[in-house]
Chains A and B, each alone.
Chain A
Amino acid sequence: MEILKCTVNGRPAELGVDPRESLADTLRERLGLTSVKKGCEVGECGACTVLVDGVAIDSCIYLAVWAQGKSILTVEGLRDPDTGELSDIQKAFVEEAAVQCGFCTPGIIMSAVEIVGSGKQYTREELRKLISGHLCRCTGYENILNAVERAVNTAHGFVGKES
């Protein structure tokens, strides 16, 4: 066992982990963050995507000990901490009917957080490439792309107003 100290969804965490253990297992089994889904456990499907220091990674092929001192974000950390309201990105997924079985959804939303966080505008083709690490069998990606596009536009609209 090794001691892992990191930040998870904005709160400090300190816990014992097996040095062979994946970050996906740590988040699911030790912290109860079950939004981190396991669809293949070899980095093919993208369902386990979380952000580590703002970068989307497949947590099933990322050792927990690599997260030492880092900040981890999952969809459980996206709601407004005070009001519990869904974030704009989550709302975009809800309103665009981008959710069906919901198993790939948390992972794609985390990639969308990274995409929106980049502060850039993207063409639809670029967005296709950016989410192509996620496999989804329910949606044909159509409404997912609509949701990501909307989230990007919402973020930029907001930035535009502020500046």
Chain B
Amino acid sequence: MEVGKSAIRVDAADKVSGGAKYTDDLIPRPHLVAKLLHADIANGVVRAIHTQEAARLPGVVKIVTCFDVPDIQYPTPGHPWSTETAHQDVSDRKLLETRVRYYGDDIAAVVAEDEVSAQRALKAIRVEYEEYEPLLTTQAATAEGARPIHDERPNNVLASMDLRTPMPESDFKTVEDVLACPAYHQFEGHYQTQMVQHCHIEPAVSYAYMEGGKIVVVSSTQIPHIVRRVCGQALGIPWGDIRVIKPYIGGGFGNKQEVLYEPLNAFLTRAVGGRCVKLELTREEVFQNTRSRHAISFDVKAAVDGDGNLMARWVKAVSNQGSYASHGHAIVANAVTGFRQLYLDQLGCHAEACTVYTNLPAPGAMRGYGIPQGDFAGECMMEDIARKFGLDPYEFRLRNIMPLGYVDPFNGITCHSTGLRECMEKGAEFIHWKELREKYQNQTGPVRRGVGMAVFSYKTGVWPISLETASARMVLNQDGSVQLQLGATEIGQGGDTVFSQMAAESIGFPLERVHIVSFQDTDTAPFDTGAYASRQTYVTGMAIKQTGEIFREKLLRYASEMLERPTAELDVRNGEIVDAATGEQVLRMYDLAQESFYSFRRTEHIAAESTHQCKDNTFAFGACFAEVEVDIPLGKVKVLRVVNVHDSGKLINPKLAEAQVHGGMSMGLGYALSEEMKFDAKGRLLNGNLLDYKLPTAMDQPDLTALFVETDDPTGPFGNKALGEPPAIPVAPAVRNAVLHATGVAVNDLPLSPQKLVEKFTQAGLIHNGR
């Protein structure tokens, strides 16, 4: 069995020795360099750009302004395209903009012989603006008389939704009736999350050149086939005239599930006659000009009966979309849907969500896609309800969690397998939940401890909200090994390794005889929409399994010809042809391959390629438990122990799964305690660098424990379900709930930074006269 083994990463040796090549490592030298001119107002219009002086500077090759680009608005999110207009992504961005919508918006680009020349030219460009008042909050942007940020949305509301689950027969007609019923415990709350950044260590970078009449874009992206489509759309040229190559990438976390500057890069190479142009963002530009996680505000209500059954919930979420639609409403829609799905309301759930344009940098996809926000609101709410009505927070959750067989009333996504209860049990046992909940109950003094928990559910891929399709290709090499080619992308998560394991398993080969082609080239790689939605081991996995079976059949047919025996008597095991009944080797794969390539009798270049359109989905689950120590006068939270327990179905590679969970937990700890993008009143980002933006270092966290409950999901190609994004989801609410347990203070907005905690503890009377 190759699946289920902790195989060593197929790219590890290259990555520890400098052999692995990333975008900037591959660029032909010398090359031209592009730099962007960013607006220094947050809201307004560019009236004129004076570039004459800049254009005369040495080394400057070309200056392109917002008045020179095609009048084409295009979409940027890494979603599968839809052939139905109504389901297509919002197209609200041009290559460069005359209408400035956030501080830092792109208004011109300089192409120069080198970076210094480009920077000097940027400084020599003069811009005349008509400036408007910045609308930075959703309240300001939706206030009476607020100026539209996009003409297509005069009220600055990108989209809204209102979903009511069908109600069973009862005295209650609506969720609101239940929430007004005095027979139930009634709860109301408000929770708010902040804007954070992905902080992949490789900045956004691409380079582009022309060859054979095509524009070639080499980019650090999670979604090469989508980048090709959007470059074509943005430039108004046939999609086949674009070729996208994706090398190794230094992290993405959703930021590179977005078409960032590839279309502009493609445009710029064409503007300089196809010469190679590099467009690499600085770290400060990555913060200001690429995507982030949405700040979402949640208002919630819940009704609970005397036994602790959730009778009904209402949630209203308002998402600050910043200046461009990007993934748009999909994220807050996911947030309230995840909020609803995790627990079963006896009577009903009413979810409202709204996405508002403002003059901030546009957030987009980030690991968890709205669920970390929705889970923060939901899991704070569950804790607060339990506290208010004297319920045990563990038992209260357990009583109400999504049952096996649950079917979502709107999208039909079904709970095919669940290990959530077991995840909770395992986590509680690890942290000594009961013992510590009791032990830390009545503390005094400035330093106090607490334990908290949170759970989550997460769907696998995007079906049926969107298309799920993947292809795989397998080609027999002359030595009897196989090449595996995919459009699915390795982005650091270990995709290439688990794809190779799945291919080996489905063909009957040992792992070392599977050679995966890591880089994607859209001219040759099979189609796949790419790395997002924790979809690839599930959706691409199905394509690999199916293609492996076809490939195996072809090997057996050729073997049957050579051996003059029926295929039914033969099998592929451990990479050789064996007698199916006895397991005895009857033909070496090497000999089969040599014959198939070089035989005078009949050559056949054995290969298989197939598409799998996935029309299913399934829920992954998990729980986080955290033990914290709070220094009240300092407002400092020290996480003493933290554990995530995941049900992601069968693990393809347990060691890599564990490693991926560690990374998500760390991201969750940063979300809980330190990370926040801060803006001034002009909409200018104040901490857009890795010094002032507090990404956790090795000193900021304890050892991270990742545990698993392996269910065998009937829909997963190997019993597996989503894993990539989930680890980042439950950590922030678990830490917040632990701080509540330690101090009795409920902090309802993230992050739990020292400044904020000191204010809250002072309000709560835990700090007197600053002590």
- How far, in angstroms, from A129 to B491 measured CA to CA in the complex? 28
Query: Are A142 and B662 interface neighbours, CB within 8 A?
Result: yes
Query: Are A41 and B283 interface neighbours, CB within 8 A?
Result: yes
* Chain B proximity of A49: nearest CB distance (Å): 12
* Chain B proximity of A83: nearest CB distance (Å): 13
Which single member of B9, B201, B494, B704 contacts A137 (CB below 8 Å)? B201
Q: Indicate if A4 sits at the interface (CB-CB under 8 A).
A: no
In the complex where A90-B17, A97-B659, A106-B18 touch, is A39 in contact with B203 (Cβ < 8 A)?
yes
Q: Which residue of A lies closest to B11 (CB)?
A: A102
Q: Indicate if A34 sits at the interface (CB-CB under 8 A).
A: yes
Query: Are B200 and A101 interface neighbours, CB within 8 A?
Result: yes
B701 neighbours in A (Cβ, 8 Å): 140-141
Residue among B250, B690, B699 having the largest count of chain A Cβ atoms under 10 Å: B250
Query: Are B251 and A42 interface neighbours, CB within 8 A?
Result: no
Query: Are A141 and B698 interface neighbours, CB within 8 A?
Result: yes
- Report B635-676 CB contacts with A as 1/0, cut-off 8 Å: 000000000000000000001101110111111000000000
- Report A121-132 CB contacts with B as 1/0, cut-off 8 Å: 000100111011
Q: Indicate if B581 sits at the interface (CB-CB under 8 A).
A: no
Query: Are A132 and B18 interface neighbours, CB within 8 A?
Result: no
Q: Indicate if B15 sits at the interface (CB-CB under 8 A).
A: yes
In the complex where A38-B24, A102-B11, A137-B253 touch, is A74 in contact with B492 (Cβ < 8 A)?
no
Report B663-705 residues with CB < 8 Å from chain A CB: 663-667, 689-691, 695-699, 701, 703-704
* Chain A proximity of B297: nearest CB distance (Å): 26
- Report B708-727 CB contacts with A as 1/0, cut-off 8 Å: 00000000000000000000
- Report A82-109 CB contacts with B as 1/0, cut-off 8 Å: 0000100010011101111111111001
Query: Are B662 and A140 interface neighbours, CB within 8 A?
Result: yes
B690 neighbours in A (Cβ, 8 Å): 39-40, 44-45, 135
Query: Are A102 and B250 interface neighbours, CB within 8 A?
Result: yes
Main secondary structure of the interface of A (DSSP, over half): loop
- Report A6-47 CB contacts with B as 1/0, cut-off 8 Å: 000000000000000000000011000111011111101101
- Report B1-43 CB contacts with A as 1/0, cut-off 8 Å: 0000010110111111110111011000100000000000000
A95 neighbours in B (Cβ, 8 Å): 8
Query: Are B249 and A101 interface neighbours, CB within 8 A?
Result: yes
Q: Indicate if B282 sits at the interface (CB-CB under 8 A).
A: yes
Q: Indicate if B248 sits at the interface (CB-CB under 8 A).
A: yes
* Chain B proximity of A147: nearest CB distance (Å): 10
A152 neighbours in B (Cβ, 8 Å): none
In the complex, 12 of the A-B residue pairs with CB atoms within 8 angstroms, ordered by the A residue number, are A29-B29, A39-B201, A42-B689, A44-B283, A97-B6, A97-B655, A102-B250, A106-B18, A128-B699, A136-B201, A137-B667, A145-B698
Q: Indicate if A144 sits at the interface (CB-CB under 8 A).
A: yes
Query: Are B663 and A94 interface neighbours, CB within 8 A?
Result: no
Q: Indicate if B473 sits at the interface (CB-CB under 8 A).
A: no
- Which 10 pairs across A and B sit closest by C-beta, in order of nearness? A101-B492, A103-B250, A35-B18, A140-B666, A102-B15, A34-B25, A140-B662, A44-B690, A141-B698, A142-B662
In the complex where A45-B690, A90-B16 touch, is A100 in contact with B493 (Cβ < 8 A)?
yes
A47 neighbours in B (Cβ, 8 Å): 201
Query: Are A35 and B17 interface neighbours, CB within 8 A?
Result: yes
Query: Are A139 and B251 interface neighbours, CB within 8 A?
Result: no
Query: Are A135 and B695 interface neighbours, CB within 8 A?
Result: yes
Q: Indicate if B229 sits at the interface (CB-CB under 8 A).
A: no
* Chain A proximity of B690: nearest CB distance (Å): 4
Q: Indicate if A79 sits at the interface (CB-CB under 8 A).
A: yes
Query: Are B698 and A131 interface neighbours, CB within 8 A?
Result: yes
Which single member of B16, B24, B656 contacts A105 (CB below 8 Å)? B16
Query: Are B17 and A34 interface neighbours, CB within 8 A?
Result: no
B25 neighbours in A (Cβ, 8 Å): 28, 34
Q: Which residue of B lies closest to A144 (CB)?
A: B698
- How far, in angstroms, from A35 to B14 measured CA to CA in the complex? 10
Q: Indicate if B336 sits at the interface (CB-CB under 8 A).
A: no
* Chain A proximity of B703: nearest CB distance (Å): 7
- How far, in angstroms, from A40 to B691 measured CA to CA in the complex? 10
- How far, in angstroms, from A138 to B703 measured CA to CA in the complex? 15
Interface size class of B (residues with CB under 8 A): 35 or more
Query: Are B656 and A97 interface neighbours, CB within 8 A?
Result: yes
Q: Indicate if A76 sits at the interface (CB-CB under 8 A).
A: yes
In the complex where A42-B689, A78-B17, A93-B16 touch, is A101 in contact with B251 (Cβ < 8 A)?
yes
In the complex where A33-B18, A129-B699, A137-B663 touch, is A97 in contact with B658 (Cβ < 8 A)?
yes
A33 neighbours in B (Cβ, 8 Å): 18
Query: Are B16 and A37 interface neighbours, CB within 8 A?
Result: no
- How far, in angstroms, from A117 to B666 measured CA to CA in the complex? 29
Report B236-254 residues with CB < 8 Å from chain A CB: 248-251, 253
Query: Are B201 and A100 interface neighbours, CB within 8 A?
Result: no
- How far, in angstroms, from A135 to B463 measured CA to CA in the complex? 35
Q: Indicate if B179 sits at the interface (CB-CB under 8 A).
A: no
Query: Are B12 and A103 interface neighbours, CB within 8 A?
Result: no
Query: Are B21 and A109 interface neighbours, CB within 8 A?
Result: no
Query: Are A99 and B15 interface neighbours, CB within 8 A?
Result: yes
Which single member of A28, A94, A124, A144 contacts B13 (CB below 8 Å)? A94
Q: Which residue of B lies closest to A75 (CB)?
A: B18
* Chain A proximity of B25: nearest CB distance (Å): 4
* Chain B proximity of A35: nearest CB distance (Å): 3
Q: Indicate if A153 sits at the interface (CB-CB under 8 A).
A: no
Q: Indicate if A154 sits at the interface (CB-CB under 8 A).
A: no
Report B183-219 residues with CB < 8 Å from chain A CB: 198-203
- How far, in angstroms, from A163 to B595 measured CA to CA in the complex? 57
Q: Which residue of A lies closest to B493 (CB)?
A: A100
A133 neighbours in B (Cβ, 8 Å): 697
B282 neighbours in A (Cβ, 8 Å): 41
A139 neighbours in B (Cβ, 8 Å): 659, 662-663, 666
- How far, in angstroms, from A95 to B695 measured CA to CA in the complex? 26
* Chain B proximity of A90: nearest CB distance (Å): 4
* Chain A proximity of B203: nearest CB distance (Å): 7
Residue among A40, A97, A105, A133 having the largest count of chain B Cβ atoms under 10 Å: A97
